[in-house]
Amino acid sequence: MVTPVTEPKLFKLPDVGEGLTEAEIVKWHVQPGDTVEDGQTIVEIETAKAIVELPCPFDGVVTELLAAEGETVDVGVPIIAVDAGGDGAVATPVSEPPAQAAALREEGLPTANEPGMVTPEEPPKRQPVLVGYGVKEGATKRRARKASNGVAAAVPAVRPPAPRPQPVDNGLPLAKPPVRKMAKDLGIDLATVTGTGPQGSITREDILAAQAVPQAQAVPQAAPQAGVREERMPVKGVRKATAAAMSGSAFTAPHVTEFLQVDVTRTMETVKRLRELPEFADVKVSPLLLVARALLTAVRRHPMVNSTWVDGPNGAEIVVKHYVNLGIAAATDRGLIVPKVKDAQDLDLPGLARALQELTEKARAGKASPADLSDGTISITNVGVFGVDTGTPILTPGEAAILAFGQIRDMPWVHEGELAIRKVTTLALSFDHRIVDGELGSRVLRDVGDMLEDPIRMLAWG
């Protein structure tokens, strides 16, 4: 008779927003043996849009981390095992005689059903799912059989000799996630390693042995040149999503870009005066604030520029948005992201300044949520902060226009009939030529330029 053991609860990686299919484990906040509570943050993950903190959905003691930091995991795959009983013991179903299991542990080898073992026969299934739900599994877990007296009985099992890992459809030998990460960090191909663990699994010792082989057989050669000549960086997370979005946008929407040089001397004077007002005492005021207000005013005068093209079952449609979710492109260590100021048309100038500052700070700190980065209607990219005059921005997918705001610098300019040194910038407006023709694009760009030349027009037109 064998005393039944409880199985740990497995927390599967959820879909944290809009059909995401995978995420990278950035940082674990817990380790095996730690006590966790329902709602406690246990891990940070990086999706295609943002870094997200995940809370634990139950109380208990962490028994195992099933994914290593830096590993990309599919939605629905377990990432952590928690003993809900709270005794801290690793809870695993009994599938081996106790003596055989003890012998394996003395050798430092995992038992056959140790949590976290990744088998090539059961590759992760990738598909969009709802938050909190995992990917459906094709096989169910077998419970211990009950004897006639109702007591769980152990099922005798004979462990076959450890075979050499055989490649299957996905070509992945048997190994745990930490072992896979170790091999990846050391540059070792698992397909070239012979496993000595249970069922032919590859252990840490196998990886270390494989690493030592080429060193022992190395042939003295000429010293390599100093410095790294090449570096390979995996494309994932925000960069992967941005690359896919930009490629899709560039080859779907016919882009047109127009340029306009503008004397913004009065805008700079207005910015200086706004900074002295008590309404802006706790917020940063920059020329971007007035550029944003000018674009919002231009959208109100020309609603078609705030639209999206939709190919539906009954033909194409142009959906005109009578609200503005204003996107502001922000450069971060993780790549370019575009957080949105939702319903920006309803904000007064101090409110718009606070929204721009708060959202940009969140984005650069990696705290922007998927909701902050979705549902935009028109965008601004401030390339001037990099000392660039202008550019030809690519449309954010689903939007009809994006405004590039270049650096402001002193330039000779004809002002009131005389040559003078003025503050000048260059604006660039890219637009979807299916929706916005040359006349409409020119009117929008000219309106923004006129308001930046004379900010009083924002009051007259707003």
What confidence score (pLDDT) does residue 223 get? Answer: 54
Q: Is residue 350 part of a domain?
A: yes
Specify whether 307 is located in the same domain as 435: yes
What confidence score (pLDDT) does residue 374 get? Answer: 87
What confidence score (pLDDT) does residue 125 get? Answer: 44
Span 397-415, average pLDDT: 95
Q: Is residue 101 part of a domain?
A: no
**Among 151, 186, 208, where does a domain finish?**
208
Residue from 10, 177, 200, 196 nearest 92 by CA: 10
190 phi-psi bin (left φ>0, alpha ψ -120 to 50, beta other) = alpha
Q: Is residue 113 part of a domain?
A: no
Count the domains in the chain.
3
Is the pLDDT at 136 greater than 50? The verdict is no
Domain containing residue 310: CATH number? 3.30.559.10
Span 157-183, average pLDDT: 57
Specify whether 199 is located in the same domain as 260: no
Cα-based distances in Å from 86 to 6, 35, 115: 11, 8, 17
Task: Give the list of residues 6+ apart from residue 345 with CB closer than 8 angstroms, or none.
Answer: 296, 299, 300, 323, 324
What confidence score (pLDDT) does residue 172 get? Answer: 59
The tokens describing 264, both together, are 């913004």
**Among 61, 83, 105, where does a domain finish?**
83
Is the pLDDT at 161 greater than 60? The verdict is no
What confidence score (pLDDT) does residue 429 get? Answer: 97
Specify whether 202 is located in the same domain as 260: no
Indicate if 255 belongs to the active site.
no
**Among 64, 83, 102, where does a domain finish?**
83
User: How many angstroms separate the CA atoms of 160 and 378, rounded?
Assistant: 63
Domain containing residue 192: CATH number? 4.10.320.10
What confidence score (pLDDT) does residue 86 get? Answer: 45
Specify whether 364 is located in the same domain as 301: yes
Phi–psi pair at 370, nearest 5 degrees: -55, -35
Span 207-222, average pLDDT: 59
Specify whether 203 is located in the same domain as 297: no
Specify whether 263 is located in the same domain as 394: yes
The residue ranking higher by pLDDT, 223 or 166, is 223
Report for 89-93, 190-194, 353-357: range of highest mean pLDDT: 353-357
Q: Is residue 334 part of a domain?
A: yes
Specify whether 375 is located in the same domain as 283: yes
What confidence score (pLDDT) does residue 74 get? Answer: 86
End-to-end CA distance of the chain: 82
Helix segments in 92-203, DSSP class H:
98-106, 177-186
What confidence score (pLDDT) does residue 287 get? Answer: 96
Q: How confident is the model at residue 18 (pLDDT cuts 50, 70, 90)?
A: low
Specify whether 314 is located in the same domain as 427: yes
Span 212-227, average pLDDT: 53
User: How many angstroms separate the CA atoms of 152 and 325, rounded?
Assistant: 60
Specify whether 284 is located in the same domain as 365: yes
Q: Is residue 273 part of a domain?
A: yes
Span 53-62, average pLDDT: 89
Q: Which residues form the domain of 71?
A: 9-83
Specify whether 281 is located in the same domain as 198: no
Is the pLDDT at 112 greater than 60? The verdict is no
Lowest-confidence region among 84-88, 128-132, 316-320:
128-132
Q: Is residue 15 part of a domain?
A: yes
* Contact assessment for residue 344 and residue 298, using Cβ atoms and an 8 Å cutoff: no
Specify whether 191 is located in the same domain as 282: no
What confidence score (pLDDT) does residue 5 get? Answer: 56
DSSP class of residue 142 equals: P
The residue ranking higher by pLDDT, 232 or 321, is 321
Is the pLDDT at 334 greater than 90? The verdict is no
What confidence score (pLDDT) does residue 4 get? Answer: 54
Q: What is the value of pTM for the model shown?
A: 0.58
Q: Is residue 230 part of a domain?
A: no
Q: Is residue 1 part of a domain?
A: no
